[in-house]
Amino acid sequence: MGAGWNIRRVYELATGKYFKQAAVDDLLEPDFLGRCVEILESDPGCVVAYASTKEIDVNGAFIKNYVTPTKFDSNDPVARFREILLVPSWCYQIFGVMRMSALRQIPPQGSYVSADHVLLARMSLLGRFHEVPEHLFISRHHTGQSIRTLPVRLQRPRRFRLTNRYPRLPCPEWWDPMKTRALTFPEFRQLAEYFLSIYRAPLGAGQKLRCFLMLLPWIKIHFKHMLKDLLIAADQVLYNLQFADTASVDVRVETRCESVNRRPSTTSRQ
């Protein structure tokens, strides 16, 4: 079913006031939820509360304190959107506590590459994010996590391939195992989702125009990745021709089992 289905299904079942995604290999300090909920309770304009991140290895040894380069505390939704769109960063905010009333105003998180990034962009258009300065969220880095799961077409031995390149990780089939043979064009999909996010956002015409104009520098930054999407798609077609659909079932199941180490679960809080 994949991580995308898992996140979306629990979101559909959630009835609480707040919502939080949780990955099985990450940890929370005891004060994490209390601090985040306290912020959301005291600030109606805040839609996501998250804590600073500490990174550890598979054995729990400290690696570093992650410095978040993005700031989402501006009252201007365009400024917040710019941060998520144009400032490179890990989107640890996706593991923060989210206001359910804001989440209900936007589509559920999708089952495609960078769907978590798109969800944060949509949330940024609805309200401010608040970062708790203490390092209460602990991200575990290891070889089995989702961002190291390669596409199936690169895992199988092949006589000929066009490229060993792959899109941003996690790969498409981590989000949805049925996409093992699909042509996904992740960068183009992400651009389309950003466009729709702006179009649907409760913003004035001037604010929407400013957001749409930001897509131009995004395209410039991601242009090489968009070209890579085309090459990857051609190699995917070649893979599909080399291997029948039935022959890929065992590999798809194996990938699904491997990805469980990083597949997020979700919780809602009353």
**Inter-axis angle of helices 115-124 and 186-200, nearest 10:** 20
- Counted domains in the chain: 1
Number of residues that this document lists for the chain? 270
Report whether pLDDT(246) > 80. no
pLDDT, mean of residues 214-221? 97
Residue 134: inside a domain, yes or no?
A: yes
Residue 214: inside a domain, yes or no?
A: no
Gap between the Cα atoms of 114 and 168, Å rounded: 8
Residue 12: inside a domain, yes or no?
A: yes
Quickly state the pLDDT bin for 248 (edges 50, 70, 90): very low
Q: What is the pLDDT of residues 134-190, one digit of tens each?
A: 999 999 988 777 777 888 888 888 778 888 887 777 788 878 888 889 999 999 999
**Inter-axis angle of helices 77-86 and 205-242, nearest 10:** 20
Residue 222: inside a domain, yes or no?
A: no
Residue 200: inside a domain, yes or no?
A: no
Beta strand residue intervals within 141-219, DSSP E:
none
Residue listed under structure tokens 């995308």: 4
Residue 208: inside a domain, yes or no?
A: no
Would you say the C-alpha torsion 97, 256, 245, 170 has a positive or negative sign?
Answer: positive
Question: Any idea what the CATH number is for the domain that residue 100 is in?
Answer: 3.90.550.10
Measured from the Cβ of residue 125, the count of other Cβ atoms closer than 10 Å reads 24
pTM of the model as a whole: 0.86
SS3 145: coil
Q: What is the pLDDT of residues 10-26, one digit of tens each?
A: 899 998 999 999 888 89
Query: Which pLDDT score is estimated for 150?
Result: 83
Residue 133: inside a domain, yes or no?
A: yes
Report whether pLDDT(265) > 70. no
Gap between the Cα atoms of 180 and 191, Å rounded: 22
Structural domain boundaries enclosing 44: 2-143+264-269
